[in-house]
Amino acid sequence: MDEKLNRLKKNIEEQEALLAAKQCLGCAHEGMLVTTLDGTITEATSAAEHILETASAGLRGHSIHEFCTARDAYDEMSRQAVREERAWNRSMVVSAGDGKRKVVNMSIQRAGAPAALRLVHVFQDCTDLRTMEERLLQSERLATVGRFASQIAHEIRNPLNSILLNIELLEDEIAESNKEGRGLIRSVLRELDRLNDIVSEYLQYSRFPKPHLKRGRVDGVIQGLRDSFHARQGIQLTVNLAASTPELWLDEGLLRQVLDNLMRNANEAIEGEGTIELETDVMDRFLAIRVKDSGVGISLEARAKLFEPFFTTKSHGTGLGLATSQQIVFEHNGHLLVESQPGKGSTFSILLPL
Ligand code: ADP
Ligand code: MG
């Protein structure tokens, strides 16, 4: 009898603890969803319903895939969460009520006994603000690195220019008939050009200007880019613009710089034949500009460091393109998101607030 009573007492205590935990979660600003491994939602907090703008009928019984429509990104993260017990975190676009799309910061962690594994999703609506900390940290890092970069670039640029000038003079001195001599000079000039590009990238980064935001449309920037961009041979560039893109606050010159960086990366990620797609799309309170490539994709390890200054996997890369781009997008109060499937390609999305 005693034993039965004890068990009952313990049961009640457990229920009470569970209830208290649920009440706590009910107050949190972050949404929380628990799903089975096939994606069926078994628990949802009211913040989750608020963020996903679901009618009061609730989320239970629905599939998480109705909301996480970027299947590749979601499936990859949930697979990782099943494999390894830690919280996996990333920004992603979810589809809220009425098909409205929102940017959330989501973390997924597995929980429960192996026979009845569950996935716990905690997410935060970051439509309005991505953690200020993250932005501050990045801009401080950029400022320090920028000072070094600027010094080095200036030291290199002057001698580089005088070498360039002298080599061009030397080229004039060599007779047309001296094929070997002229060939050598041309290859030196090519390398000097490359060095010059690198130095320019450093300077572009270190002189990072404050944007002058004006109301305008992005169409002009994209058209200009379409006309001037040199896709490598075998690469097909397609441009799909939304039927009408709304006006937003932007610095055309800087946005062009971001798109140029993303397109150049896409070009470099494709080995042999492939495609680059540039598209715009209105999502909730944002205009999305996407650069999709069918290139090599980005490994998980690389993804964690992608936006760090000087991170590069290329033998001749500077690792400054994405760091600068992210900072410019932040200055527009926007987001720069990446989705990638190693071996299949990557999509970089610039989200600019309307
Ligand atoms: P860099 O191009 O000089 O290497 P970035 O900051 O532009 O510097 O890019 C950093 C790294 O991110 C690249 O070296 C590459 O590994 C990875 N990366 C960027 N864009 C892509 C892409 N579209 N596809 C695959 N990898 C990419
Ligand atoms: Mg680059």
Q: Is the CB of 269 under 6 A from ligand 1?
A: yes
Q: Which of 267, 322, 340 to mutate to test the pocket of ligand 1 (most atoms within 8 A of CB)?
A: 322
Q: Helices (H) and strands (E) in the chain — how many of each?
A: 9, 12
* Category of 29 on φ-ψ map: left (φ > 0), alpha (ψ -120 to 50) or beta: alpha
What per-residue confidence (pLDDT) applies to 248? 93
Question: What pLDDT score was predicted for residue 209?
Answer: 63
Nearest ligand, CA of residue 292? 1
Per-residue pLDDT of the chain (354 residues; tens, 9 = 90+): 577 767 767 766 766 665 555 555 555 678 899 999 999 999 888 888 888 888 656 888 999 999 987 788 888 889 999 998 888 888 888 888 877 778 888 889 998 888 889 999 999 887 655 556 666 676 777 777 777 777 777 788 888 889 999 999 999 898 889 999 999 999 999 888 888 877 877 777 776 667 888 999 999 999 988 888 888 889 999 999 988 889 999 999 899 989 999 999 999 999 999 999 999 998 878 899 999 999 999 998 898 889 988 899 998 888 989 988 998 898 898 999 999 988 999 999 999 988
Q: Report how far apart, in Å, the C-alpha atoms of 124 and of each of 105, 129, 174, 256, 270 are.
A: 5, 10, 66, 30, 34
Q: How many residues does the chain have?
A: 354
319 lines ligand 1 (CB under 6 A): yes
Going from the Cα of 265 to the center of ligand 2, the distance in angstroms, rounded, reads: 5
Provide the 3-class DSSP secondary structure of residue 7. Answer: helix
Q: What single DSSP character describes residue 229? A: -
In this prediction, residue 317 carries a pLDDT of 86
Q: Are strands 335-341 and 274-283 parallel, antiparallel or unpaired?
A: unpaired
Domain 214-353 has CATH 2.40.50.140: no
Percent helix, strand and coil across the chain, each to the nearest 5: 50, 25, 30
Residue 306 CB less than 6 A away from ligand 1: yes
Fold annotation for 2-125: Beta-Lactamase (3.30.450)
pLDDT at 57: 66
How many CA atoms does the CB half-sphere of 164 hold within 13 Å?
13
Q: How far is the C-alpha of 298 from the C-alpha of 11, rounded, in Å? A: 49
Strands (E), 96-144: 101-111, 118-125
pTM of model > 0.85: no
Atom of ligand 1 nearest to the CA of 323: 6
Instruction: Say how many Å lie between the CA of residue 316 and the centre of ligand 2.
Output: 10
The CA angle 10-15-17, to the nearest 5 degrees, is 95
Q: Is 104 left (phi over 0), alpha (psi -120 to 50) or beta?
A: beta
Contact 231, 174 (CB under 8 A): no
What's the pLDDT at 147?
A: 74
Q: Would you kindly state where each structural domain of the chain is located, as residue ranges? A: 2-125, 132-206, 214-353
**Cβ–ligand 1 contact at 311 (below 6 Å):** yes
Domain 132-206 grouped into CATH 3.30.460: no
Q: 302: Cβ below 6 Å to ligand 1?
A: yes
